[in-house]
């Protein structure tokens, strides 16, 4: 469709942390730094790992817990180094079909929520079943990139 796409993602490992009781913006900031320290060597192998995109944030309706995640690079998928920070963990996300809406600019939590609402409305109007109680935000750019930024919101297909 012109305003969203349906993607199939394979099973993959992500390094994640959950930040509780903060605003989404503050949770993203704290979560990003915890995960950044992990890829900078705060892991049992003291290994530096390349930064990957997207950085995702799980947003559940009516919940102030946010799960921030980095994709584990392909060369580490089989055996990612274990985090040494007890708040950081490796998770395996199962293969899934996702409805994706892309947009540009600097994405605030409000902008992500707006885009998620627009995607949800479109999916409902088209009779597409999806899990409505949560969505993921996905950011692809460094804060220093000023133009042609790429952001997404994801809903899981039922």
pLDDT of residue 110: 96
Domain coordinates in residue numbering, the chain: 3-154
Superfamily of domain 3-154: Regulatory factor, effector binding domain (3.20.80.10)
Asked if the model's pLDDT at residue 15 lies above 80, the reply is: yes
- What's the rounded mean pLDDT across residues 7-24? 97
pLDDT of residue 69: 98
- Tokens representing 9 are 């993602």
- What's the rounded mean pLDDT across residues 105-126? 97
pLDDT of residue 2: 86
- What's the rounded mean pLDDT across residues 57-62? 95
Asked if the model's pLDDT at residue 97 lies above 80, the reply is: yes
Give percent of the chain above pLDDT 90.
96
Shortest CA distance to 133 belongs to which of 151, 108, 150, 158?
Answer: 158
pTM score = 0.96
- What tens digit of pLDDT does each residue of 128-150 get? 999 999 999 999 998 889 999 99
Q: Could you tell me if 73 and 49 are in contact, meaning their C-beta atoms sit under 8 angstroms apart? A: yes
Would residue 105 be called left, alpha or beta, if left means φ above 0 and alpha means ψ between -120 and 50 degrees?
left
């Amino acid at each position: 469709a012109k305003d969203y796409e349906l993607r199939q993602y394979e099973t993959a490992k992500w390094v994640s942390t959950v930040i509780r009781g903060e605003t989404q913006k503050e949770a993203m900031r704290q979560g990003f730094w915890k995960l950044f320290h992990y890829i900078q060597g705060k892991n049992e192998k003291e290994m530096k790992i390349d930064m990957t995109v997207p950085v995702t944030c799980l947003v559940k309706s009516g919940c102030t817990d946010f799960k921030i995640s980095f994709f584990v690079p392909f060369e580490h998928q089989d055996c990612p180094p274990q985090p040494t920070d007890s708040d950081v963990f490796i998770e395996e996300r199962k293969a899934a079909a996702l409805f994706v809406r892309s947009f540009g600019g600097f994405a605030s939590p409000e902008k992500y929520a707006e885009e998620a609402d627009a995607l949800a409305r479109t999916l409902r109007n088209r009779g597409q079943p999806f899990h409505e109680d949560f969505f993921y935000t996905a950011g692809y750019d460094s804060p220093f990139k000023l133009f042609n930024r790429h952001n997404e919101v994801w809903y899981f297909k039922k």
